[in-house]
Each structure stands twice: as C-alpha cells, then as structure tokens.
C-alpha cells in the first residue's frame, strides 16, 4: 500500500487536499494529513472564505519522511506560506527530494519546494501569482493544467484537480 503524506495548515484551499485525498484513497493509498500541530485547522474556499475544519493526523514534529512513499502539497494562500517558514516542514520535504520520492504540488503548494532549493532546471506550473517566485528559484514556469518533471507533478488550481488526480495516481504508482 502506498503511504502519502499531505502537508497543510490554516488557510489550506480545502478542495486541493480533499479532492486528491479522496482520489488517492479510492485508488488504494493511505493519506496522512500532517500539519504544524496535531488537531484541527481551518481550511478555506476560494482562498478567503472559511470552510471546514480539517483534522491533522500528525504534527510535523512527529512525522518521519521515511514512513511515506509520496508527498502531497496542496495550496491556498496562507497554508503554503506558513509551511515554508517552518524548519521541520522544509526538512521533511527535503528528505523526499533527497530520496527521489514522488512529490505532487497544486496551486501555491509549490512554495514549500522553493525553500528546499531543488527546482533549478525543472519545468513547473502553479497558480500564476507565484510564477515569478518559481522562476527566481530556477524553474521554467508553463501554463499547463498538469506538468510532470522527474519525481514532481505540478498543477495550477482547483479547476485542474481531475487532471491532477489522474496524474498523481499514475505518478504515485497506484494505476
């Protein structure tokens, strides 16, 4: 069984976690939601409207990258920004990169990978607002619904979730 770690915190764009999580679990994966602390955090809809509370299964301080086969980085404005500022999150993501494990990022989720400093020479996509950040990190940004480059899968926004889900199921070796 493929074990997927999903990193998120307050300000998560809810559908960018729940859509892929549902698809991955339906395909046979186990998804563990990891946040800055265990317990609930506030998700949003359309980046600003409070939606549901999401329960984190594990705090990042208690998570070990070696326990997982793949990493999911959902977006939202606030969640990726808070995650990228946390040294434990950055170390966790870096461990996936160093182990060449598959990583999927949608929307602003790729911001965490900027902190890992491993995007140079990669082709990526994201929400257009972070295009310059990704290019400054050495990536080539393209406006496609899904981009696969090596161990990475990138997608732009909630509208792309069906294509993103299909790509991550294949990339995480569930299909």
The gap from C-alpha 67 to its chain's centroid, in whole angstroms, comes to 17
Quick check: is 108 catalytic?
A: yes
Active-site residue flag, 107? yes
**Catalytic position from the list 108, 122, 156, 171:** 108
Tell me which residue of 98, 46, 23 sits closest to 2, measured CA to CA: 23
* From 107, 113, 124, 146, the catalytic residue: 107
Alpha helices, DSSP H only, in the chain? 14-26, 78-84, 87-98, 111-116, 131-136, 161-171
Distance CA 73, CA 56 (A): 14
Which residues are tagged catalytic? 107-108
């Amino acid at each position: 069984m493929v074990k997927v770690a999903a990193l998120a915190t307050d300000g998560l764009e809810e559908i960018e976690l729940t859509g892929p999580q549902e698809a991955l679990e339906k395909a046979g994966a186990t998804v563990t939601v990891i946040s800055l602390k265990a317990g609930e955090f506030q998700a949003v809809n359309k980046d600003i409207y409070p939606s549901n509370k999401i329960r984190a299964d594990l705090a990042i301080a208690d998570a070990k990258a070696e326990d997982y086969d793949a990493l999911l980085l959902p977006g939202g404005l606030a969640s990726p920004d808070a995650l990228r500022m946390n040294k434990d999150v950055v170390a966790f993501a870096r461990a996936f990169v160093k182990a060449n494990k598959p990583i999927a990022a949608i929307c602003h989720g790729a911001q965490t990978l900027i902190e890992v400093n491993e995007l140079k020479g990669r082709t990526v996509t994201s929400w257009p607002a972070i295009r310059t950040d990704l290019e400054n990190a050495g990536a080539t940004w393209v406006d496609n619904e899904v981009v696969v480059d090596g161990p990475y899968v990138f997608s732009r926004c909630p509208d792309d979730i069906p294509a993103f889900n299909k790509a991550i199921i294949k990339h995480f070796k569930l299909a």
